[in-house]
């Protein structure tokens, strides 16, 4: 299901969509653990080919209200899917699982988002 991008910036590339999803996953439980930050930094280091300025992205994410997290997450999930290979999606799912488990506590909210991501990207994902 395609949804409107809450940021109003149109379609995101897969790396930024992945960054947004990881940031939302780190926030849905209401607490950002330093261990989660390390997973996000590793994701950016491993996937982004050059130094980047995240000021704009931080602004977009900072302006999201918790009630908007799900819509934005689904938008990012779809944007990432459209531009990625199966191997890239599997690699990202590994980062998402690492992030959710980084603080050694998986909340129901984190589990819900992660399960939705895994379900959406299974082999039956409709484009």
Q: What is the dihedral of CA 37, 40, 41, 44, to 10 degrees?
A: -160
**Residue 111 vs residues 25, 33, 34, 56, 119: alpha-carbon distances, Å:** 9, 16, 19, 28, 12
Residue 30 domain-assigned? yes
Residue 7 domain-assigned? no
| Domains: count for the chain | 1
Distance, CA of 115 to chain centre: 13
Residue 32 domain-assigned? yes
Residue 87 domain-assigned? yes
- Which residue is associated with the tokens 């409709």? 126
Residue 125 domain-assigned? no
Tell me the per-residue pLDDT of 33-92, one tens digit each, with 9 for 90 and over: 999 999 999 999 888 877 667 888 888 898 999 999 999 999 999 999 999 999 999 999
Residue 90 domain-assigned? yes
Give the residue numbers spanning the domain of 106.
14-120
Residue 60 domain-assigned? yes
Mean pLDDT score across all residues of the chain: 87
pTM: 0.85
Tell me the per-residue pLDDT of 96-110, one tens digit each, with 9 for 90 and over: 999 999 999 999 999
């Amino acid at each position: 299901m395609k949804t409107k991008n809450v940021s109003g910036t149109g379609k995101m590339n897969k790396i930024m969509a992945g960054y947004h999803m990881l940031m939302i996953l780190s926030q849905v439980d209401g607490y950002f653990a330093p261990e989660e930050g390390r997973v996000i930094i590793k994701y950016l280091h491993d996937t982004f080919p050059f130094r980047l300025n995240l000021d704009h992205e931080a602004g977009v994410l900072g302006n999201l209200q918790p009630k908007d997290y799900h819509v934005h997450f689904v938008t990012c999930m779809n944007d990432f899917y459209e531009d990625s290979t199966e191997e890239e999606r599997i690699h990202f799912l590994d980062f998402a699982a690492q992030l959710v488990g980084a603080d050694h506590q998986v909340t129901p909210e984190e589990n819900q988002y992660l399960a939705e991501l895994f379900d959406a990207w299974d082999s039956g994902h409709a484009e």
